[in-house]
Amino acid sequence: MSRPLLAAAALFSLFFAWPGGAGAQDSAYLARIAEATFSRAATAINRDPAPGISVAVLLPGGHQIDASVGVADRISRETIGRDTRFLSGSVGKTVTGLIATELASEGVIDLDAPISTWLSGQTFWPDLRNADAITLRMLLNHTAGVPDYLEDPGFFLSGFMRGERGYTPAVLVGFVADEEPINTPGTAFSYSDTHYILVGLILEAATGQDYHSLVRERVIEPLGLTDTQVLSGRDHDRLASGHVRGVFGLSATARNHRLNHNLDHEWAAGGLVTTPGDLAQLYSALGSGELSGPGAQMRANAFVVDAERGSSYGLGLYVRTYEDGAFRIAHGGDFGGYRSAVVYDSQSGITIAVQANGKSFEAPDFAFALMDEIAAITP
């Protein structure tokens, strides 16, 4: 059992949870980490990057600290709490990569098979450039070279006419299928949400299950991610109101737990509604917990993104490996007026996840800076 201690003020909250029987030394150590976490979050929000910021720090042995500052909604002044939910954005690609990795280990799919194995019957197939040279692995590590539909003018303009109608995955791919490829398949890193829309279609074709069911049965339920669901529709309980910068300051993308527009098109490219606590649980499981086997496969043979910084991209996550064998896995997300980031550090065993309801918040910078600060604190 965990023993909680909650301290809250009007716009600030701090939550500690640790296994029963923690001694005074453990409590003092947790308190120092909590102070560092809360202080960094409070400093960040004072710079006005977002109305609210929520952080989860998961330590080895099940110790967890949650710190929240600011508001979930600027009109109602509802405060951010540890159960406030946000859109994950591209952090959700890790979930898609995990499912693909598990299916590959079960022999259901072959990561190095041509995607024609599953997609040749799709309406966009005759137009998809380099289709015969693309493999599933290339889609997962962003080397397939398919342009990003989010950057396509046709997709942008279509949003003014579709109203509340969503997009099918095949329609999303169709926006860019006949466009000039970004690179020859397998030769360069080119981040594209279209890659993961294609992966989602492959997972459905290979299993006969819809993507939502795969996420629920293979990730959410086994890990007990009770605050997570695949984005579908506009109404989501405990959803913070996202914000983007507009002509007259912050412009809300949601209000009263309801998105202003249908954003289902993110789908397998990162369409999750979740909390920092659930994201931390996922990455901890991939780094050292029950999913460490698939996690190792997801970071193996990662494609180098930035050799100078030691950054690579595996199957749905960024990887940095050190000379002593230690590693960090991470991902960020920027979608619909929300920012997210999560990082696991193998040397310390610490996982940090942060989410905010403002597009201007630099979530990855925050997560890595906090990780370095906390890792330097000794028990």
How would residue 2 be classed by pLDDT, with cut points 50, 70 and 90? very low
How would residue 17 be classed by pLDDT, with cut points 50, 70 and 90? low
If one counts every other C-beta atom within 10 angstroms of the C-beta of residue 148, the result is: 20
Contact 269, 90 (CB under 8 A): yes
How would residue 161 be classed by pLDDT, with cut points 50, 70 and 90? confident
Stretch 101-124: mean pLDDT, rounded?
A: 98
Contact 309, 330 (CB under 8 A): no
- Contacts of 160 by beta carbon, 8 Å cutoff, 6+ apart: none
Residue type, 157: L
Note the pLDDT of residue 308: 86
Number of H helices, E strands in the chain: 12, 17
146: which 2 tokens? 């398919």
CATH (one of 3.30.70.360, 3.10.20.340, 3.40.710.10, 3.40.50.620) for 87-361: 3.40.710.10
pLDDT higher than 60, residue 18: no
237: which 2 tokens? 């309980």
pTM score of the predicted model: 0.93
Residues 296-319 have pLDDT tens digits of 999 998 999 998 888 999 999 999
* DSSP β-ladder status, 311-313 and 318-321: antiparallel
Dist CA 254 CA 338 (whole Å)? 10
User: Any idea which of 157-166, 193-202, 211-220, 258-267 has the lowest mean pLDDT?
Assistant: 157-166
